[in-house]
Structure 1
Amino acid sequence: MAEQRRNLYFYYHPNQELDEKLKPLYQLARDKDFSIVEDSKNANIIVAVGGDGTFLQAVRNTGFRQDCLYVGIRSQNEAGLYCDFSIDNHDEMVEAMENAEVEVRRFPIIEATVNNESTFYCLNECSVRSTLIKSIDVDVYIDDLLFETFRGDGLIVATPTGSTGYNKSTKGAVVDPKLPCFQVSELASLNNNRFRTLGSSFILSGERTLKLHVRQDGNDYPIIGMDNEAFSIRNIYDVTVRLSDQVVKTVKLKNNSYWDRVKRTFL
């Protein structure tokens, strides 16, 4: 790890048990000449302690920083796609870092612009879903081509790393994160003589632009899901999605590839 990266910020949801487990980790960090900072703006290594959900929140709430490394630590004995390390095994974590058994991996993110005004970044996925017991109608444009008109519960646009999340539950494909692309999947599409969709997920090159134009038919306030957080924005007209030039840089074990984690989690 680069010599200048010595300021650690710990992101987690405080509780008494976790606070106690973190004390020896704090001391270990200080013994190794790391500084623990109280403000994420002063950090160059951001450590998320919890699980994949906490990791996603840490990245979002610290602004998808490009000058930081993100590290995921599991607080429970459960599989995780973003968290390589366990809070119950400090020695293994330090040994891996000291013996150069870790590497920096760069995960692609997407940017979603709502109504040509507000832009959000997503590490896992962006979703547009109906808030009513009523289907939502969306015109789907790929670049300038009207590709299809969707009617159903909503659409998911997932990154490669996000392909194992919400996207996978809708039978979307699991995608290698080394591919610069994003995937579009349907939620309960309705196909008839008036509305016709592809009926399966599809993958777009990172050079493409996707536009979701929400038809204003009374269902004008869909939920926009950004990773594991939801935003209710009044009068959604369109959502434009692109693969961002930015990435999330994470510290991962060299012997724990993306496909190792997929196998361990699902097989």
Structure 2
Amino acid sequence: MENAIEIKNLEKVVIAIYGKQLESSFKNELELLFDILEKHQVEVVIYAPFYEYLIKEFNLQISIRALFRTSGEVKHLADYMLSLGGDGTFLESVAFIEESCIPVLGINFGRLGFLANISTEDIGAAIDLLLSKKYSIERRSLLQVFTDKNPFLNFPFGLNDLTIQKKGTSMINVNAYIDDDFLCTYWADGLIISTPTGSTAYSLSVGGPIVSPSLPSFLISPIAPHHLTVRPFVIPDSCTLKLEVTGRSGEVDVSLDSYSHTMTLPLILEVKKAPFHIGLVNLQGTNFFKTLRNKLLWGVDKRN
């Protein structure tokens, strides 16, 4: 496949597993997953807090090769990253693989599951397809955030979006510049800068467009703007976007995917395309457009 990410050729398949808390009703599905991995002689490297949680809460007997707590302990070891949870868990798993190009597959133990698009009912079939290499790897771009005293310094990258939101009741003002050319001032409750992957997340809920993942772009989507003339805007991801944020409250909440911090105003943020991609596993028979129809009911018409 064009632009496919090369998979390391090891004698035994090594799968890293990341997860958090799951509902107790999923015990049978978890047992099935680990039984299948053991049957296929897959070597499991699992996130240590999640492993401890599974032993304590589910009393599972899991055969593992190693535990990991940091990206350095896993990103050069595993062939795949398996995320167990919803889309939030999937986004957190990305921080552990960083630039290593380990492909990520998500099994949905959460709600919507747009990124984690494998249902628990399909665990067996999904693992069989993965180990039989019946899949393609879709390259997804990330954004990178630059600012003084960057609270996201450990992993200043977002697969979905950067969100700036007011803290309190007063609107914020955001002067936006594209490659140092002034775009406009947003008077709004907040502003979302998203990747094409993030176009089906928060940006979508404020009226942003859905963008194909292969389109090299950023989306600028205001949250409750006090303008009749400001709408979501798509720009090339080759641009540098500078945001100057001010407001009466003196603080704003800044979120990068699943991580959020309160930052002091005035604030200057720069957003650029990250220097690496994340590889998403599309199992045979699945792709972005099928997920769009299944998860967001794209094009569904009761008349048909």
TM-score higher than 0.5: yes
Counterpart in 2 of 1:169? 205
Counterpart in 1 of 2:34? 26
Counterpart in 2 of 1:190? 226
Alpha-carbon distance in structure 2 between the residues aligned to 1:184 and 1:116? 24
Percent of pairs with identical residues? 22
Counterpart in 1 of 2:62? none
Scaled by the length of structure 1, the TM-score of the pair is 0.88
Counterpart in 2 of 1:219? 249
* Structure 2 unmatched ranges of 5 or more: 1-6, 46-66, 298-304
* Structure 1 unmatched ranges of 5 or more: 192-196
Q: CA RMSD in A?
A: 2.2
- Please show how residues 41-120 of structure 1 align to structure 2 within 5 Å: 41-42=73-74, 43-44=77-78, 45-60=80-95, 62=96, 64-75=98-109, 79-115=112-148, 117=150, 119=153, 120=156
Counterpart in 2 of 1:3? 9
Partner deviation per Cα, 1:71-90 (whole Å, 9 max, x = no partner)? 101125x5522123233333
CA-CA distance at 1:219 after TM superposition = 3.0
Partner deviation per Cα, 1:161-204 (whole Å, 9 max, x = no partner)? 1101110111111000101111001111123xxxxx85111111
Scaled by the length of structure 2, the TM-score of the pair is 0.78
CA-CA distance at 1:243 after TM superposition = 1.4
Alpha-carbon distance in structure 2 between the residues aligned to 1:6 and 1:219? 52
Secondary structure of 1:89 counterpart: helix
**Which amino acid is the alignment partner of residue 125 of structure 1?**
D
Alpha-carbon distance in structure 1 between the residues aligned to 2:222 and 2:21? 36
Counterpart in 2 of 1:194? none
**Which amino acid is the alignment partner of residue 68 of structure 1?**
I
CA-CA distance at 1:227 after TM superposition = 1.4
Counterpart in 1 of 2:241? 210
Quick check: 2:107–2:120 contact (8 Å CA) kept in 1? yes
Quick check: 1:160–1:174 contact (8 Å CA) kept in 2? yes
Alpha-carbon distance in structure 2 between the residues aligned to 1:211 and 1:220? 19
CA-CA distance at 1:7 after TM superposition = 2.2
Match of 2:68 among 34, 39, 44: 39
CA-CA distance at 1:39 after TM superposition = 0.9
Quick check: 2:101–2:277 contact (8 Å CA) kept in 1? no
Q: How many residues align?
A: 259
Q: Does 1:229 align with 2:259?
A: yes
Q: Does 1:179 align with 2:186?
A: no
Alpha-carbon distance in structure 2 between the residues aligned to 1:105 and 1:89? 20
Quick check: 1:79–1:264 contact (8 Å CA) kept in 2? no
Quick check: 2:91–2:257 contact (8 Å CA) kept in 1? yes
**Which amino acid is the alignment partner of residue 32 of structure 1?**
H
Secondary structure of 1:88 counterpart: helix
**Which amino acid is the alignment partner of residue 16 of structure 2?**
Y
Alpha-carbon distance in structure 1 between the residues aligned to 2:249 and 2:97? 31
Alpha-carbon distance in structure 2 between the residues aligned to 1:155 and 1:240? 13
Secondary structure of 1:64 counterpart: helix
CA-CA distance at 1:50 after TM superposition = 1.2
CA-CA distance at 1:91 after TM superposition = 2.5
Alpha-carbon distance in structure 2 between the residues aligned to 1:89 and 1:265? 15
**Which amino acid is the alignment partner of residue 29 of structure 1?**
L
Partner deviation per Cα, 1:103-154 (whole Å, 9 max, x = no partner)? 1111111111123756511111101111020010111111111111111101
Quick check: 2:172–2:248 contact (8 Å CA) kept in 1? no
Alpha-carbon distance in structure 2 between the residues aligned to 1:138 and 1:14? 37
CA-CA distance at 1:218 after TM superposition = 3.3
Give runs of ≥4 in structure 1 deviating > 6 Å.
none
